[in-house]
Chain A
Amino acid sequence: MNVLSQNVALAASAPMVSEQYDDARQQREAATLGMWVFLATEILFFGVLFASYTILRVLYPQGFAVASRHTDMLFGTIETGVLLSSSCLIALAVRAVKLDQHRVAVWLLSATAMLGVTFLVMHGFEYYKEYTEHLIPGIDFKQPAPRAHAVELFFCLYYCITGFHSLHVTIGVIVIVVLAVRVKNATFGSQRYTYPELTALYWHLVDIVWIFVYPLLYLVGRSG
């Protein structure tokens, strides 16, 4: 490439600095800080469910143990592994963008999205299984006494937590796919990588939420 087209290529992928910022670095710092603040709000958003879980489990420890044994530990464990791996892949994808390795980055982002879809599909199978076992509150919930109430409370929380989490996973998958397309079109690169970084931060948060969800929903009372 001659110098002119190189400059054009560079300019095309250079970040547009909005007028309220002095330079690109300030803009990037602001965007990163903003994203972390948003992640804090997400922690508190899910936190309500964790707080409710903690309180109800303090009230009904045995009931929660019984209920947790109804979840599919194998699926849950595999799902955790899937998300952890996807976290690694997206972190590597951002690294690749920063190094202008566009094809590698697109591949990694696509793989991340696929793992996200895998997670959702596995969850779907879990939900279906729980439906057949009458474990969905409000939809023909039937469990043997004496702990039926506590089991129902557990599963109310289970569906709230996994439902909101799956919603976030879905949004993340969509954003990652869009990101992959834009990386393919060389919108981002070593000159301009804030948006991929922020997307990755969001995806990591989704992973972190699940890191805590997994033992709390799937591993209670497993030792019988």
Chain B
Amino acid sequence: MSTSDAALAIPSPSRSFWNGDYGLRAWLTTRDHKRIAILYALGITGFFFLGGAAATLIRVNLIEPTGSLLTAETYNKAFTFHGVVMVWFFLIPSIPATLGNFLLPLMIGARDVAFPRLNLASWYLYICGGLFAVASLLAGGVDTGWTFYTPFSTMFSNSNVFLVVIGVFVTGFASILTGLNFIVTIHTLRMPRMTWYRLPLFVWTMYAVSLVMVLATPVLAMTLALIALERLAHLGIFDPALGGDPLLFQHLFWFYSHPAVYIMILPAMGVVSEIIPCFVRRRIFGYRFMTYSILAITVIGFMVWGHHMFVAGQSMYASLVFSIMSFIVAVPSAIKVFNWTATLRKGAITFEAPMLYALGFIGLFMLGGLTGLMLAAPALDIPLTDTYFVVAHFHYVMVGGSVMAYLGGIHYWWPKITGKLYSEGWARAAAILMFFGFNLTFFPQYILGYEGMPRRYHSYLPDFQVLNVLSSAGASILALAYLLPVAYLLWSLRAGAAAGNNPWNARGLEWQTTSPPPKENFLSEPIVREAYAYDEPAP
């Protein structure tokens, strides 16, 4: 490839990673990180709508106080399936396995990840685990809640706990292998001159999320194995009759599951850190502090898990320790929110769809984060535990935060991945509709929780009906807002305008190659500069 060809930057269609090796078999045996990202995206979208279907059942059931649509047992299975699918088969892999897989080598100037075959194996593990989860549904569902608390899950539940636990166990290894791959890739395959402090913040968050995946998921794996062994072989260390402690399970479970929420939010923060500088045309404010905050969240996030157990019976001393650590972990998150906001100052802000998602993220994540801080105080948590306040809190951060950022990232990098431009009008409409629908769905739930409506109940006191109806109405708007991108994004594949290498005039190595990139990522060596060099012209 001569330099003049690359300088012309005419994307030769045959060089795109989409072309070349055609056919199902080529795709299912690919080692190209970009194709694996697409494979993951398909799986993740499928599971999102599966989990969304369960959510639909829940919200329709809750329109009426008697909850007569579903029996109590079926309702238990609905929220369990919703939680299991959304947490493990959608949220945790979403940004890292799709956008991360696609962009990480591009952003560091590498030709692929460190272990491409392991990457493909990750995807197969993910799908295999997902099939087990679906099998558990088809076999009649699971009613333990996604948290599998013992001794109900180990001794008393008659549902298909074993199947779903195997599914999550297997998918957990997909997580671990992805994390391992990313850690080695970032340490080893950065191109010359791409030093740590020139990396985009998205890469920093991929690194941090990989650390969490690698250090937390093995604990989940063994904990799930212990559930399976107790159900199968009566090896019961959580059995109270033997003197085992159900709280031991909770400690082990939450040691993973709290860092898991940082797996969900850190990549979202990374995406937002890429989008905002681009549509403000400024460097990000406080780059170094952003990196320190990312690492601080990663490490301190491992020391807060007991705040899920304030009412479970752990000692007050432990509650004190975990509460203090939970307050401390809020600080780096707040620093990041301040820095994104400061980046906006005196910038030339434009409101393309990715920016709408990013701005929505900041507001909604802040609300979710602040309510999380409220819950970190045992005095407030004790009356609010297991109420809809908690449900609202985590949906604000996971949906208002992570999902919005994920969609923002999909829109931002869609031209790069597909070479096509989507309809900006429809995209902005969908983003605004989503923001509105989301708040209508989940803000009433804060009030419901505050007023005492418990979670995981299929029926409720008639006093709560108005807010529940509002919430369900919001959910229907939200559902529509999620379907719109599917429509116009797919449509753009057929009828969208050609994107060109850098439609957003962004900075970052991925924008220095063609859209879509060729199989080997770069036709000529990209130029490394400081991160977010928006004050300089594009290279």
Whether A and B touch directly in their complex, counting CB atoms under 8 A apart, is answered as yes
B188 touches A29 (CB 8 A): yes
Residues of A within 8 Å of B223, CB to CB, are 48
How far is the CB of B119 from the nearest CB of chain A, in Å? 11
CA distance A214 to B229 in the complex (A): 22
How far is the CB of A162 from the nearest CB of chain B, in Å? 12
B221 touches A45 (CB 8 A): yes
B236 touches A156 (CB 8 A): yes
CA distance A40 to B180 in the complex (A): 10
B112 touches A138 (CB 8 A): no
CA distance A153 to B520 in the complex (A): 55
A138 touches B222 (CB 8 A): no
The binding surface of chain A is classed by DSSP as helix
Set A19, A55, A152, A160: member contacting B226, Cβ < 8 A? A160
Set A29, A46, A56: member contacting B244, Cβ < 8 A? A56
Set B188, B222, B241, B244: member contacting A45, Cβ < 8 A? B222
Residue B215, interface by CB 8 Å? yes
A48 touches B252 (CB 8 A): yes
B243 touches A150 (CB 8 A): yes
Residues of A within 8 Å of B115, CB to CB, are 30, 34
Residue B376, interface by CB 8 Å? no
B234 touches A138 (CB 8 A): yes
Residues 203 to 222 of chain A near chain B (Cβ within 8 Å) = none
A51 touches B237 (CB 8 A): no
Residues of B within 8 Å of A56, CB to CB, are 237, 244-245, 248
Residues of B within 8 Å of A42, CB to CB, are 218
Residue A127, interface by CB 8 Å? no
> Known: A19-B111, A59-B243. Contact between A30 and B189, CB under 8 A?
yes
Contact bitstring A146-172, B, C-beta under 8 A = 1, else 0:
000110110011011000100000000
> Known: A26-B188, A52-B248, A59-B245. Contact between A156 and B222, CB under 8 A?
no
Residue A49, interface by CB 8 Å? yes
How far is the CB of B19 from the nearest CB of chain A, in Å? 18
How far is the CB of B150 from the nearest CB of chain A, in Å? 12
Set B189, B217, B235: member contacting A159, Cβ < 8 A? B235
Residue A61, interface by CB 8 Å? no
Residue A10, interface by CB 8 Å? no
How far is the CB of B348 from the nearest CB of chain A, in Å? 38
Contact bitstring B215-253, A, C-beta under 8 A = 1, else 0:
111110111011001000111110001111100100110
How far is the CB of A32 from the nearest CB of chain B, in Å? 9
A49 touches B113 (CB 8 A): no
Residues of A within 8 Å of B188, CB to CB, are 26, 29-30, 33
Set B181, B183, B219, B245: member contacting A44, Cβ < 8 A? B219
CA distance A216 to B245 in the complex (A): 20
B235 touches A138 (CB 8 A): yes
B226 touches A48 (CB 8 A): yes
Residue B290, interface by CB 8 Å? no
* Cβ-closest chain A residue relative to B226: A160
The interface size bin for chain B is 35 or more
Residue A37, interface by CB 8 Å? yes
* Cβ-closest chain A residue relative to B247: A55
Residues of A within 8 Å of B11, CB to CB, are none
* Cβ-closest chain B residue relative to A45: B218
Residues of A within 8 Å of B237, CB to CB, are 52, 56, 153, 156-157, 160
CA distance A164 to B114 in the complex (A): 29
Set A20, A41, A63: member contacting B113, Cβ < 8 A? A20
A49 touches B222 (CB 8 A): yes
A60 touches B243 (CB 8 A): yes
Residue A47, interface by CB 8 Å? yes
* Cβ-closest chain A residue relative to B241: A149
Residue A38, interface by CB 8 Å? yes
Pick the most buried of B176, B183, B243, B245: most chain A CB atoms within 10 A of its CB: B243
A37 touches B184 (CB 8 A): yes
How far is the CB of B24 from the nearest CB of chain A, in Å? 24
Residue B407, interface by CB 8 Å? no
Contact bitstring B103-114, A, C-beta under 8 A = 1, else 0:
001000011111
CA distance A48 to B222 in the complex (A): 6
A149 touches B243 (CB 8 A): yes
Residues 2 to 59 of chain A near chain B (Cβ within 8 Å) = 18-21, 26, 29-30, 33-34, 37-38, 40-42, 44-49, 51-52, 55-56, 59
CA distance A102 to B218 in the complex (A): 37
Residues of B within 8 Å of A44, CB to CB, are 215-216, 218-219
B244 touches A153 (CB 8 A): yes
Residue B25, interface by CB 8 Å? no
B242 touches A153 (CB 8 A): yes
* Cβ-closest chain B residue relative to A32: B184
CA distance A18 to B117 in the complex (A): 11
CA distance A34 to B189 in the complex (A): 13
Residues of B within 8 Å of A156, CB to CB, are 235-237, 242, 244
CA distance A21 to B190 in the complex (A): 10
CA distance A19 to B237 in the complex (A): 48
How far is the CB of A62 from the nearest CB of chain B, in Å? 12
Residues of A within 8 Å of B226, CB to CB, are 48, 52, 160
Residue B214, interface by CB 8 Å? yes
Residue B494, interface by CB 8 Å? no
Residues 176 to 220 of chain B near chain A (Cβ within 8 Å) = 176, 180-181, 183-184, 187-189, 214-219
Set B113, B236, B248, B252: member contacting A137, Cβ < 8 A? B236
A51 touches B243 (CB 8 A): no
How far is the CB of B382 from the nearest CB of chain A, in Å? 24
> Known: A30-B188, A52-B237. Contact between A40 and B252, CB under 8 A?
no
* Cβ-closest chain A residue relative to B118: A34
- 6 shortest interchain CB distances as A-B pairs: A138-B234, A48-B222, A20-B112, A45-B218, A44-B218, A30-B188
7 sample A-B contacts, Cβ–Cβ < 8 Å, listed by A number: A20-B105, A44-B216, A47-B219, A55-B248, A59-B245, A156-B242, A164-B222
| Known pairs A33-B184, A41-B176, A48-B219 / 16 extra A-B pairs, C-beta < 8 Å | A18-B116, A30-B114, A30-B184, A33-B188, A37-B214, A41-B218, A47-B218, A52-B248, A56-B244, A137-B235, A138-B233, A138-B234, A149-B241, A149-B242, A153-B243, A164-B222
Which residues of chain B have a CB within 8 Å of any CB of chain A? Answer: 105, 110-116, 176, 180-181, 183-184, 187-189, 214-219, 221-223, 225-226, 229, 233-237, 241-245, 248, 251-252, 520
Which residues of chain A have a CB within 8 Å of any CB of chain B? Answer: 18-21, 26, 29-30, 33-34, 37-38, 40-42, 44-49, 51-52, 55-56, 59-60, 63, 137-138, 149-150, 152-153, 156-157, 159-160, 164
